Amino acid sequence: MKKIRIAIVGHRFMGRAHSNAWNQVTKFFEPAAEPVLQVACGRDGSALAAFAERWGWAEVATDWREVLGRDDIDAIDIATPTHLHAEMAVAAAEAGKHIFCEKPFANTLAEAEAMLASAEKAGVVHYLNHNYRRCPAVLLAKKLIDEGEIGEVRHWRGAYQQSWLNDPGHPLDWKLRKETAAAGPLWDLGSHAIDLARFLVGDFAEIECRGKQFTCERPLAEDPSRMGRVEVECAALMTGELAGGALASIETTRYATGRRNRHSFEVYGSKGALAWDMEDMNRLRFYSEGDPEDRRGFRDILVTERCHEYVGAWWPPGHIIGYEHGFVHAAADFLDACAGGGPVEPNFRDGVECLRVLEAAAASMEGAGRVRLPVSG
Ligand SMILES: NC(=O)c1ccc[n+]([C@@H]2O[C@H](COP(=O)([O-])OP(=O)(O)OC[C@H]3O[C@@H](n4cnc5c(N)ncnc54)[C@H](O)[C@@H]3O)[C@@H](O)[C@H]2O)c1
């Protein structure tokens, strides 16, 4: 079987989630290529060595550029802070490597366009990890919407709510600096929420966004005895209209006490509605106007049957799956694409479209009011 030799950059949260996926994928799926965990790249020598040993990476390296120059590497897995994605992805494409990239795709639309252009020019596989697209319940929602089960879509209500910044002692880390993260939850969580909206109900035609600051200063990550200024918004509320005519809202925050990782949507159409929530990710709520009048109501579908996307590879019906499974599904599809199975989605093209919405939202948040967006073909 063809082998795809991978170099990963970044070895913390996403480094672990991706390593787990590369390790599990051939145990449950039969992708057309087998991943080889070749090199783990990072800056911190001892943490990197421990990471590589635990997750099975054959080698470690502290210079990712040098690794990209090697002939025995086929793909790069970018699991670093956002401001590094563009430089790494462009260099990887120029070196002819396939790219598995974390979200938010980039810090600016210009960066995103350069990343897409270089990947397309090089003809490499490019994947952008909006992992929620590969939750089976989300895929069932897509099927029901595409088959017309909820009719003409009138409302999209998306929210990505976390609560970890309610702690005033949480340090000022890279996610709270403009230079490294571009923006706050609008970019970090909003990129996922926008991608899910685009995937399920289509592009945004017009948006407007309002941001809010709850905490202005935090202890510095590098020296907690000193305080530093939070440079990004604490919460953002985006409203808009989709190209198909639906009204939409997307709420993002890291201050929603009690909501730990509540990525959710509700979509209402002329014939029915759907609702999903990542904190209960195996279930899809479906309402149909077609049901007999005396028993209409949201039904609760446990999306764990063999007929549901990806589920058959895992456990018997009712034996639920979790957060990490979406990453394994993405790994399987990425490997198929690397073995010549055609493009994988979402990809850098989706990254550009997402950045278009994010930049417009940031401009709106800073006073640009309503912003119209070009609708892609
Ligand atoms: N798909 C998801 O749901 C999801 C969830 C969390 C984070 N992310 C994204 O994944 C990426 C990484 O986030 P994280 O939470 O793993 O961050 P993290 O802070 O936990 O880890 C970042 C890693 O990048 C490394 N790094 C930083 N600067 C580097 C440099 N100059 N060269 C080499 N390595 C460097 C760090 O040492 C660390 O290992 C971000 O883009 C983030 O938005 C995605």
> How does pLDDT run across 138-184, given as a tens digit for each residue?
999 999 999 999 999 999 999 999 999 999 999 999 999 999 999 99
Residue 172 confidence (pLDDT): 96
CA atoms within 13 A on the CB side of 127: 30
User: Which H or E run contains 247?
Assistant: strand 247-253
* Residue 31 CA to ligand 1 centre (angstroms): 26
Tokens of 38: 């070749």
Ligand 1 atom closest to the Cα of residue 188 is 43
User: Which H or E run contains 266?
Assistant: strand 262-269
CA atoms within 13 A on the CB side of 49: 2
Give the pairing of strands 153-161 and 299-302. unpaired
Task: Report the C-alpha gap between 94 and 53 in whole angstroms.
Answer: 30
3-class SS at 176? Answer: helix
Residue 45 confidence (pLDDT): 85
Tokens of 163: 């609560």
Task: Report the C-alpha gap between 191 and 160 in whole angstroms.
Answer: 10
3-class SS at 42? Answer: coil
Residue 376 confidence (pLDDT): 66
For the chain, which ranges sit under pLDDT 50? none
* Complete domains list, the chain, with CATH: 2-131 (3.40.50.720), 134-344+354-368 (3.30.360.10)
**Do residues 128 and 274 touch, judged by C-beta distance below 8 A?**
no
3-class SS at 267? Answer: strand
**Do residues 176 and 81 touch, judged by C-beta distance below 8 A?**
no
Task: Report the C-alpha gap between 161 and 307 in whole angstroms.
Answer: 31
Q: What is the 3 state secondary structure string of 132-165?
A: HHHCHHHHHHHHHHHCCCCCCEEEEEEEEECCHH
Residue 20 confidence (pLDDT): 98
Ligand 1 atom closest to the Cα of residue 191 is 43
Mutate to test the pocket of ligand 1, among 9, 12, 128 (most ligand atoms within 8 A of CB): 12
